[in-house]
Structure 1
């Protein structure tokens, strides 16, 4: 019974943590994509002006 009561609260916490890390990685991916597009937007005029 002790192991059961010990194991039960771990599952929701684990899934919650999993969901959090997934959200964090998604956010960081979006931020990276935004930063990349911003960098491209900044550099593209220079590339276009080059002969």
Structure 2
């Protein structure tokens, strides 16, 4: 990362998965980048979606 830039921040998203009858099944967690903070031309130049 260049000295004049800082990394994008992240966030932990937690979720409880349940079975069909509503009882507990498992916990799930994922780390996501807060991409809405990215600036076009500084953090990226183009986007693509198939």
> Whose helix fraction is larger, Structure 1's or Structure 2's?
1
TM-score range, shorter chain: under 0.3
Q: Greater strand share, 1 or 2?
A: 2
| Alignment TM-score, normalising by the size of structure 2 | 0.24
TM-score, normalization by structure 1: 0.24
- The structure whose RCO (Cα within 8 Å, separation 6+) is larger is 2
